[in-house]
Amino acid sequence: MTPIQLPPVEPATRNGSLYGMVVESSGACLEGAKVEVIAGQAIGNVALQETPCGIWDYGGGFWIKSLTLDVATTIRASAPGYSSRELATMPQSGGTGLVIILSPLQ
């Protein structure tokens, strides 16, 4: 009996990323915001938002790198004085851009 030769398994591509900004409802960047991976791949990674940043600018914000494409990732965005927000997403080729809006604590 001849053994069956299976093709080699290609390693998962790890060139995905999540990037964006954590803002309030007016679109203003929230200083001190952080984005943390809480489920899926890269659990425990934390990205601190760089400021200044603005929703219409290309500077600042957060960036989580070296993620596997099309693998579910859940993040939590938080900032002092604001309710945190969780979001499930999948990194895509070229990066996945996010604008995460937080509401002030009541």
Q: What digits encode the pLDDT tens for the residues 28-48?
A: 999 999 999 999 999 999 999
CA–CA gap between residue 96 and residue 59 (Å, rounded): 16
Domains of the chain by residue range: 16-101
CA distances from 23 to 36, 72, 100 (A): 15, 23, 6
What is the CATH number that goes with domain 16-101? 2.60.40.1120
What mean pLDDT is reported for the chain? 88
Q: What is the pLDDT of residues 50-63, one digit of tens each?
A: 988 876 777 789 99
Residue 54 CA to residue 22 CA, distance in Å, equals 10
Confidence of residue 104 (pLDDT cuts 50, 70, 90): very high
Model-level pTM?
Answer: 0.82
Report pLDDT for 13. 64
Output the pLDDT for position 92.
87
